[in-house]
Amino acid sequence: MKNPVDDLRQSLAGRPSQSLEETKESEFIIIRLGESLFALPLADVLQVVAVEKVYPVPGSPVHFLGVINVRSSIETVFNIKSFLGLQAQKENQTKGLLIAVTGLQTVMMVDDVLDILKVRDSDIHTTPRAPKSPVGRHLKGEFSWSSQSVMIINLSSVFAELADGK
Amino acid sequence: MGTFSRRYQSLGIRGRILFSGISVIAAVLLATVSVMVVRSNTWFSKAAHNRLSTATELALLDLDTKAETKRKIIELVASDDDVVFNASVLHGAYADLDGSDLDESSQELCRDLGKKIKNASHVGDFDLIGIFGHKNQLLAFFDRRQQMTGFSTGSRYVTDGKSLYLSFSELPENIQLTLKIVENGQSSGYSRYGMGLAQTIVIPVRDVFDDRPEKIATIVGTTFVTDDYANQLSKASNTHVNFYHGSVLLAGEFRYIERLSDKTLDSLKNQWDKQDLDNRLSRLLWQETTINNESFTQALYPLYEINGEVGSLLVMHSNRSDQRNKRNTLWLMVLTALLVGGLGSILMVVSANQIVRPLKASLELSRLMAIGDLSSNENFDGIGGDEAEILRRTMLSSVKQLRDTLKGVTSATTDVDHMATALFGAVTEEMGIATEQASSVTEITATIEELSATSKQIAENSNQVLEIASTNLAETESGSEIVQNLMAKMDEINANNEESINKIVDLGKNSQEITKVIDLISGIADQTKLIAFNASIEASGAGDAGRRFGVVAMEIRRLANNVMESTSEIKERVHEIQTAVSQLVMASEKGSNGIRGGRDLAVATVNTLTGLVEDARSTSDAARQISMSTQQQKIANDQVVVSLREIAQGANNTADSINRTKQIANDLKELSRKLKDQVDRFKLE
């Protein structure tokens, strides 16, 4: 298996005319949800958490599975897959990302964490909005990573929708 | 039958012809007499005549004693089964006899008689359908379905609740119909006639209105009949006419019938003296008549002064039983005549046969003797018989004597011939055997010599067989030893193979332990990776200060990825090893089975070889035995050849003697044949 970081290095090395200082870059963490790859801005991610057991809380909102203990702090567990309507294949999820956006903090369950990398803004393409599908509603852009398409989730819109209580 | 035939034969030829002739003549006479007897009516009508005469006399007994007379008449009518009830008369009698002037027994009789009449559904023994005519014109027709009780003048018919009293009178000049119709007890009309009453009886005509009824007889009751009147009536009615003295009482309606008044009777008595009156009355009172092809005797009983009126009673007597008797007698006589005649004819035929048969037989015997045929084998025993029979028996006896003599000669000749033939045959056969014997002996000698040579050859060959068998025995024993060694080696291989399999299985188990360790390593790598991610995040959060740390974190993450890749590869390899182990174990098992099969084969081979050794030893012994026996046989054969040569010389001498005997037998046979030809000219069987 190729190391994605090496790939990135090689791609960067193939561009001698552009220095890192000259180009605006953002850091993303790449996750897998089912068959698809998604990216989250690294600035929103506080920690990668190993989730062993989730304690269910009666009366929780629809996409919240329960609570867990993260270093003596009680955090809610958010099922992003069900929220985005990606429930086709159920996997035994053991990893979660502790996320903090607009004052809200939660552990988002993912199928796998693949990599952390920097992407130039010019490499990010905007995706056409498809407001009717849950995935389409919350995408911010798209870039290519080791010849696969990675979609950037707009966490602000996700949490705005959660806050609206829809 | 046989006894009868013999007795009959003993009458002799003349006696038998006479007897048969008498029988036939008797039959003819009997037939003639029977026909004559039957043709005369005397025998048969006498009984009826007597009966009716008695009735008439009774009726005439006493004119004044009304009740007694009536009772007697009623008794007579009631008791006589042959009396055909004339319904009209009896109906009238019944109606008239109300029983007022009768004693109790007579009343009872009257009631019985009344029932009898009422039940009578026909007149006489024949069914009648009444047709009343005026000058042959059809006036009325009654069939039985309309409850017609009978046909008779003055009879009462009931149709649809109406009572109809009818009387039909026929006179030469003036034919009248007397008809009274009673409805609801009231007479609605009638007519009457003058001098007498005629009743017409017609043939039944069923359902054919267009056909005119045929009149078959006319019965006339009258007080006074002149010859002219009788003739006129006969011609007019064109039938046989019966006349009766006085008024004919035909119906219950007495008042319509001409009455014989005291005055008239007195005048009659004055006219004829007493004797003459009785004669006339008795002549008129009964008569034979035929109605509808049936014979009747009918009688008129004049009844005087019944209810102060004078009437008469008509009784018809059926002659059926008389006719039946007549017919039966005729049949009996004819049958008897046929029987006697038939018997006579049979006797004649038997006589002729008895005479002709022995004569024919004698003739045939003579003819046969003339041509030398003496074969007749008939029995000539017995006694009696007529002249022809005695002749036949004598001839038969002569033929038998002659036949017996010739049979003796034939028998002797045949015996001689048979003996000569037998002798010839035996000699011929013997000669053949002798010749055959001589040649056989020669042949046997040659064969035995050949056999002697063959024996020598066999003796040599058996020696060679003995040597080969010994060699074979030695080789088989060494082969058996080699196979036993092979078996021991195979056992060793099998043990080694089992050990290998056990070791391979242990290897498989150990590789599973490796998998567990690999899983542990993989888990640690995954946790390491997670920690590396958090390190990267922390480094990113630290900005430029964390950049170097970020590189370290990335390296750790890469290392963890490498570890995970390697463990994954190791897992694959271990899986491959496990698969290979399984296949190896299976292959080794198969090899082990093969080795076991090979060992079993080796055991079977050892057993077979052991058997072979035994057999080879037996073969060697047998070959030695054969060699000795063939030597002995060779010596014996040489001795046999010498003896056979002597026997051949003897056989040739015997054949010569037999040939001479054969010649003599042949001469004897020729002689016997000539004698037989002479005797065969006679036929004996």
- pLDDT (tens digit, 0 to 9) for every residue of chain A, 166 residues total? 456 566 656 655 555 444 444 578 888 999 998 888 999 998 899 999 998 889 998 888 888 889 999 988 999 999 888 888 886 566 778 899 999 888 888 999 998 898 888 899 888 888 766 667 777 788 888 898 888 889 999 888 888 888 776 5
Nearest CA-CA partner of B638 in B437, B441, B451: B451
What is the Cα–Cα distance from B497 to B504, expressed in whole angstroms? 11
Does A20 lie at the interface with B, CB-CB under 8 angstroms?
Answer: no
Cross-chain residue pair A48–B527, CB shorter than 8 Å: no
Nearest CA in chain B to A95: B530
Cross-chain residue pair B554–A5, CB shorter than 8 Å: yes
Cβ-proximal residues to B515 (8 Å cutoff; 6+ apart), any chain: B571, B574, B575
Does A118 lie at the interface with B, CB-CB under 8 angstroms?
Answer: no
- Residue B201 has a pLDDT of 34
In angstroms, the first-to-last Cα distance of chain A is 42
N residues, chain B = 685
Cβ-proximal residues to A155 (8 Å cutoff; 6+ apart), any chain: A40, A41, A44, A99, A101
What is the Cα–Cα distance from A147 to B538, expressed in whole angstroms? 28
Nearest CA in chain B to A112: B530
- Residue A38 has a pLDDT of 93
Cβ-proximal residues to B43 (8 Å cutoff; 6+ apart), any chain: B37
Cross-chain residue pair B533–A5, CB shorter than 8 Å: no
Around Cβ B609, how many Cβ atoms within 10 Å? Answer: 18
- Residue B252 has a pLDDT of 25
Chain A residues in contact with B540 (beta carbon < 8 A): 27, 42-43, 116
CA distance, residue A84 to nearest chain B CA (Å)? 24
Cross-chain residue pair A113–B530, CB shorter than 8 Å: yes
CA distance, residue B531 to nearest chain A CA (Å)? 8
Chain A residues in contact with B565 (beta carbon < 8 A): 1
DSSP, collapsed to helix, strand or coil, labels residue B120 as: coil
What is the Cα–Cα distance from B357 to B629, expressed in whole angstroms? 93
B interface with A, Cβ–Cβ < 8 A, is: 527, 530, 533-534, 536-537, 540, 554, 557-558, 561, 565
Chain A residues in contact with B527 (beta carbon < 8 A): 50
What is the Cα–Cα distance from B53 to B49, expressed in whole angstroms? 6
Cross-chain residue pair B537–A116, CB shorter than 8 Å: yes
What is the Cα–Cα distance from B451 to B444, expressed in whole angstroms? 10
What is the Cα–Cα distance from B333 to B34, expressed in whole angstroms? 6
Structural contact between residues B29 and B371, judged by C-beta atoms closer than 8 angstroms? no
Q: In what order do the strands lie in the sheet with B240-245?
A: B196-202, B215-222, B240-245
Chain A residues in contact with B536 (beta carbon < 8 A): 116
What is the Cα–Cα distance from B369 to B285, expressed in whole angstroms? 89
Q: Which residues of chain B have pLDDT under 50?
A: 42, 44, 55-66, 80-102, 113-114, 116-226, 229, 239-262, 264, 281-285, 291-292, 300-315
Chain A residues in contact with B557 (beta carbon < 8 A): 5
Considering the entire predicted model, what is its pTM? 0.35
Q: In what order do the strands lie in the sheet with A73-78?
A: A45-50, A95-101, A104-110, A73-78, A64-70
The residue of A48, A113, A117 whose CB has the most chain B CBs within 10 angstroms, and thus the best one to mutate to test that interface, is: A48
CA distance, residue A47 to nearest chain B CA (Å)? 6
Structural contact between residues B639 and B449, judged by C-beta atoms closer than 8 angstroms? no
* DSSP letter assigned to residue B292: T
**In angstroms, what is the C-alpha Rg of chain B?**
74
- Write the secondary structure of B467-485 as one string of H (helix), E (strand) and C (coil): HHHHHHHHHHHHHHHHHHH
- Residue B587 has a pLDDT of 86
- Residue B72 has a pLDDT of 57
- Residue B162 has a pLDDT of 38
Q: What's the token pair of residue A19?
A: 């220095």
Does A27 lie at the interface with B, CB-CB under 8 angstroms?
Answer: yes
What is the Cα–Cα distance from B307 to B281, expressed in whole angstroms? 22
Which among B527, B534, B554 has CB closest to A47? Answer: B534
Which among A1, A5, A48 has CB closest to B534? Answer: A48
CB pairs < 8 Å spanning A and B: 32
Burial A39-69 (b: 16+ CB within 10 A, else e): bbbbebbbbbbebeebeeeeeeeeebbebbe
Cross-chain residue pair B561–A1, CB shorter than 8 Å: yes
Cross-chain residue pair B527–A46, CB shorter than 8 Å: no
Chain A residues in contact with B561 (beta carbon < 8 A): 1, 3
Does A50 lie at the interface with B, CB-CB under 8 angstroms?
Answer: yes
Q: In what order do the strands lie in the sheet with A112-120?
A: A112-120, A25-33, A36-41, A148-153, A139-145
Which among B540, B558, B565 has CB closest to A5? Answer: B558
Nearest CA in chain B to A46: B537
Q: What's the token pair of residue A50?
A: 């190993």
- Residue B57 has a pLDDT of 46
* AA letter at B380: F
What is the Cα–Cα distance from A63 to B55, expressed in whole angstroms? 148
Chain B residues in contact with A48 (beta carbon < 8 A): 530, 533-534, 537
Chain A, residues 57-96, CB within 8 A of chain B, namely 95
Structural contact between residues B351 and B20, judged by C-beta atoms closer than 8 angstroms? yes
Cross-chain residue pair A113–B536, CB shorter than 8 Å: no
Chain A residues in contact with B530 (beta carbon < 8 A): 48, 50, 95, 113
Which among A5, A47, A95 has CB closest to B537? Answer: A47
CA atoms within 13 A of residue B301's CA, in its CB half-sphere? 31
DSSP, collapsed to helix, strand or coil, labels residue A150 as: strand
- Residue B484 has a pLDDT of 79
The residue of B526, B531, B534, B559 whose CB has the most chain A CBs within 10 angstroms, and thus the best one to mutate to test that interface, is: B534
CA distance, residue B514 to nearest chain A CA (Å)? 23
Structural contact between residues B572 and B446, judged by C-beta atoms closer than 8 angstroms? no
State the residue for tokens 């552990």. A107
Which among B540, B554, B558 has CB closest to A42? Answer: B540
Task: Give the C-alpha distances (Å, rounded to integers) separating B223 from B56, B96, B195, B305.
Answer: 17, 21, 8, 14
Task: State the DSSP string of B219-253.
Answer: EEEES---HHHHHHHHHHHTSEEEEEEB--B-SS-
Which among B530, B540, B565 has CB closest to A48? Answer: B530
Which among B530, B537, B565 has CB closest to A45? Answer: B537
Around Cβ B419, how many Cβ atoms within 10 Å? Answer: 14
State the residue for tokens 């698969």. B579
What is the Cα–Cα distance from B293 to B290, expressed in whole angstroms? 6
Cross-chain residue pair A42–B537, CB shorter than 8 Å: yes
* DSSP letter assigned to residue B428: H
Q: CB-based burial of residue B543 (10 Å sphere; 0-12 exposed, 13-18 middle, 19+ buried)?
A: exposed
Cβ-proximal residues to A44 (8 Å cutoff; 6+ apart), any chain: A99, A100, A101, A155
